[in-house]
Structure 1
């Protein structure tokens, strides 16, 4: 039985534009202040979820 290769690590979505809006969401990456603070302690699955939510926030802000 061969195991599938491990999934690549989830990279931080930070783009070095660290400015929070009134909702405490970064205008650069779309993460909340809590998501940013907890990033280093999250599992890979939790990081994927954060990245998905951040993308949704960014796309909503752009429309």
Structure 2
């Protein structure tokens, strides 16, 4: 399957608020990933989306009291 012509849309939900770890609490991307987005190829965008999804799951678990500390997820 080819990536040529594939456009992966930004996960931005226009609810930007960075926490103390520079993670946006709207899309769960790190500030570095947000800055890289426009120049990122489809493979890198998928990686960023996967990491953001993992962060979101961890934050939701923390907010429900299922975890006390968020594990480090590579940028």
TM range (shorter): 0.7 to 0.9
> RMSD of aligned C-alpha atoms?
1.9
Which blocks of at least 5 consecutive residues in structure 1 are unaligned?
none
Q: Which has the higher contact order (CA 8 A, sep 6+)?
A: 1
TM-score norm. by structure 2 comes to 0.73
Which blocks of at least 5 consecutive residues in structure 2 are unaligned?
62-75
Q: Would you say how many aligned residue pairs link Structure 1 and Structure 2?
A: 61
TM-score norm. by structure 1 comes to 0.86
The 4+ residue runs of structure 1 with deviation greater than 3 A are 3-8
